Amino acid sequence: MTWQCRAMKIEVAGKQFVFPRECACCGGFPETTITLSGTERNRKSRTRGWAWDVPYCQECRRHVARTDRAFIVGMSIAALFGFCSLLYALLVEMRLGFVLFAASVLLTMLVTAVLIPRIRPGAACCTVSRALIYLGSAGNIHSFDFKSRHYARAFVRANRLKLVNASTVVSQMVRDLPVSENQVARRLAKRLR
């Protein structure tokens, strides 16, 4: 079974949200979680941290971890060669240094273009990377980016009373929900001090 996979932004108000008990990527049985986290600064310049545990199956967790590692390798190559080429440009020869910098950017793109397609997600997976991304918050409103339309629908169903700034697609999901469905929220937010 392949889910429809298009990024969908959903905004919810509050601190406690229900993340449905299914893999956020493939919809399978969740055996583990991946933590979403983010920070915000309020008016008093105090930083708050938020963290939620999103359910994933083992296979999806593995391909997300491999994608994260490939991204870190690519960024490490970019940082190392970029720094060395800029240092060369400043100390030895400017033109050749900038050519080396451009080459380091191309090398980084090549390495990530080779590593990421080698990662094989499951047949039902919607993406090779994280299926749910925390975009940030504005006050009490938190924004999430869902890659799996199926998981987005389940999240909307579980948190329908907390939805804000709903797009037409999200509004249609809410209209299609049965009225008698109830969900009990569980505490998932952690405060970092």
pTM score: 0.71
Residue ranges in the chain whose pLDDT is less than 50: 1-4, 180-188
Q: What is the pLDDT, as a whole number, of residue 58? A: 92
CA distance 193 to 181: 36
9-63 confidence digits (pLDDT tens): 888 888 788 899 999 888 889 999 998 887 766 666 666 677 888 999 998 898 8
CA distance 154 to 134: 17
Torsion, Cα 73 74 75 76, to 10 degrees, reads 50
Residue 57, classed as helix, strand or coil, is coil
As to burial, measured by CB atoms within 10 angstroms (0-12 exposed, 13-18 middle, 19+ buried), residue 105 is middle
Q: What is the pLDDT, as a whole number, of residue 186? A: 46
Identity of the residue numbered 54 = V
Q: What is the pLDDT, as a whole number, of residue 5? A: 55
Q: What is the pLDDT, as a whole number, of residue 184? A: 45
Q: Which of 126, 108, 128, 127 is nearest to 118 (CA)?
A: 128
Match 């979403």 to its residue by tokens.
Answer: 36
Q: What is the pLDDT, as a whole number, of residue 56? A: 93
CA distance 86 to 92: 10
Domain residue spans in the chain? 5-56+126-175, 62-118
Q: How many helices (H) and strands (E) does the chain have?
A: 4, 6
Identity of the residue numbered 41 = R
CA distance 91 to 86: 9
Q: What is the largest CA-CA distance in the chain?
A: 72
**Token output for 185:** 């929220």
Q: What is the pLDDT, as a whole number, of residue 55? A: 93
As to burial, measured by CB atoms within 10 angstroms (0-12 exposed, 13-18 middle, 19+ buried), residue 24 is buried
Q: What is the pLDDT, as a whole number, of residue 79? A: 82
